[in-house]
């Protein structure tokens, strides 16, 4: 059966959505369709992939606006006549077609202090209980697809926050080491707060939502780290204050940029649900879920209508 696809093609100099009619067979995933396009209509269509089994985290893309792995998105999940639009992940500079420059994530990983082995314990003498390693193991499931990084509104369309904010992938790394039974550093949380920009995170949970490994990034890593950082740094009374004040009023970090919507796409990167005072809602108190409203805006539902989908090159005069 032939189906209609739109794929963003271009490079750092610009580009646009191109239309393709492609054969689709039963049981296929979006990555299969990309491969068929390469083999038949667009041999130089750039796209990363390796395992085709959701294990390597290479094939991250945005499918009908939603950040996903191409190899784990079955064609049968779309309605029969649904137009399928594929764009590169937006938070990182595009290199060509669906391939983006994700070096940001590797740089942040390199800044996070490595595992510090316990002194005096010889290799082979490490003893740990399964229950104790399980907490860190959850985070070590991460396949580094960077979909969480791509989705997090602190840096999505906000390059200016990138130097100070390491993103959810880095937070789970810090949490993993923090919970590692034998790691000999005790300042992982403080580090996350002071150097990774944990304070910018207002637990919107969007990272958790897109994680293909279903890692509970917010609940199991970010929130515990925040709580305990606060526990250690402030007395319990101030802890209450945390719930009332905006996080960056509590900490001495520079405030995250105000989230004025830059015209970077047909679908405006919705103002991250800030109130008239420019502050985020105090999510923990008012929202039905812990964690706040979607940074895409509450009125946005996926999939997004095809005519609203567009990928505008961030460097092509689309900057505010």
φ/ψ bin of 233: left (φ > 0), alpha (ψ from -120 to 50), beta (otherwise): alpha
Instruction: Please tell me the distance from the alpha carbon of residue 71 to that of residue 60, in angstroms, as a whole number.
Output: 9
Q: Which single residue is written with the structure tokens 């994700």?
A: 102
Selection from other proteins, ligand SF4, ligand FES, none that 268 binds (CB < 5 to 8 A by kind) is none
> Burial code of 46-63, b = ≥16 C-beta within 10 A, e = fewer?
bbbbeebebebbbbbbbb
Q: Which residues bind ligand SF4 (CB under 6 A)?
A: 57, 142-148, 151-152, 154, 168-169, 172, 201-207, 210-213, 215, 217-218, 222
In angstroms, give the least distance from the CB of 241 to ligand FES: 42
56 binds ligand FES (CB under 6 A): yes
300, two tokens: 């946005």
In angstroms, give the least distance from the CB of 270 to ligand SF4: 14
78 binds ligand FES (CB under 6 A): no
Piece of 54-62, 116-124, 232-240, 308-316 that binds ligand FES (CB under 6 A): 54-62
Instruction: Please tell me the distance from the alpha carbon of residue 141 to that of residue 221, in angstroms, as a whole number.
Output: 13
Instruction: Please tell me the distance from the alpha carbon of residue 48 to that of residue 266, in angstroms, as a whole number.
Output: 26
Selection from ligand FES, ligand SF4, other proteins, none that 189 binds (CB < 5 to 8 A by kind) is none
Selection from ligand SF4, other proteins, ligand FES, none that 168 binds (CB < 5 to 8 A by kind) is ligand SF4
Selection from ligand SF4, other proteins, ligand FES, none that 37 binds (CB < 5 to 8 A by kind) is none
Query: In a 10 Å sphere around its CB, with 0-12 CB exposed, 13-18 middle and 19+ buried, how is residue 43 labelled?
Result: exposed
Strand 14-23 relative to strand 2-11, pairing: antiparallel
57 binds ligand FES (CB under 6 A): yes
Distances (CA, A) of 227 to 245, 246, 281: 15, 15, 19
Q: Which single residue is written with the structure tokens 């958790």?
A: 208
Work out the angle at residue 32's Cα, subtended by the Cα atoms of residues 31 and 34, and round it to the nearest 5 degrees.
Answer: 65
Least Cα distance to 168 among 100, 309, 67 occurs for: 67
Q: Based on CB atoms, which residue is closest to ligand FES, 57 or 88?
A: 57
Q: Which of 69, 102, 225, 283 binds ligand FES (CB under 6 A)?
A: 69
48 binds other proteins (CB under 8 A): yes
In angstroms, give the least distance from the CB of 72 to ligand FES: 6
List residues near other proteins by CB under 8 A: 11, 25-29, 32, 38-40, 43-58, 72, 74, 76, 95-97, 99, 101-102, 106, 109-110, 113-115, 117, 123-124, 126-130, 133, 136-137, 140-144, 177, 180, 183
């Amino acid at each position: 059966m032939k189906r209609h696809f739109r794929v963003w093609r271009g490079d750092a100099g610009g580009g646009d959505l191109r239309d393709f009619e492609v054969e689709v067979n039963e049981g296929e995933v979006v990555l299969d369709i990309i491969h068929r396009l390469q083999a038949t209509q667009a041999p130089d269509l750039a796209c990363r992939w390796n395992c085709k089994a959701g294990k390597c985290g290479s094939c991250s893309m945005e499918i009908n606006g939603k950040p996903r792995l191409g190899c784990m998105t079955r064609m049968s999940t779309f309605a029969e006549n649904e137009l399928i639009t594929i764009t590169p992940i937006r938070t990182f500079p595009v290199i060509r077609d669906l391939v983006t420059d994700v070096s940001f994530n590797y740089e942040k990983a390199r800044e996070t202090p490595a595992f510090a082995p316990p002194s005096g314990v010889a290799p082979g003498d490490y003893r740990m209980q399964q229950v104790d390693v399980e907490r860190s193991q959850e985070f070590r499931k991460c396949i580094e697809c960077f979909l969480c990084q791509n989705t997090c509104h602190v840096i999505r369309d906000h390059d200016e926050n990138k130097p100070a904010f390491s993103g959810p992938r880095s937070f789970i790394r810090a949490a993993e080491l923090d919970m590692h039974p034998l790691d000999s550093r005790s300042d992982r949380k403080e580090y996350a707060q002071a150097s990774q920009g944990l304070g910018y995170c207002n637990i919107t949970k969007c990272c958790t939502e897109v994680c293909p490994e279903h890692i509970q990034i917010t609940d199991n890593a970010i929130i515990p780290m925040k709580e305990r950082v606060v526990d250690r740094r402030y007395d319990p009374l101030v802890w209450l204050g945390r719930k009332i004040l905006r996080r960056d009023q509590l900490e001495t970090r520079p405030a995250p940029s105000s989230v004025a919507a830059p015209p970077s796409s047909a679908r405006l990167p919705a103002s991250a649900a800030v109130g008239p005072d420019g502050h985020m809602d105090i999510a923990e108190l008012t929202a039905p879920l812990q964690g706040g409203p979607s940074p895409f805006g509450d009125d946005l539902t996926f999939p997004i209508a095809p005519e609203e989908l567009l990928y505008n090159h961030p460097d092509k005069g689309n900057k505010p």
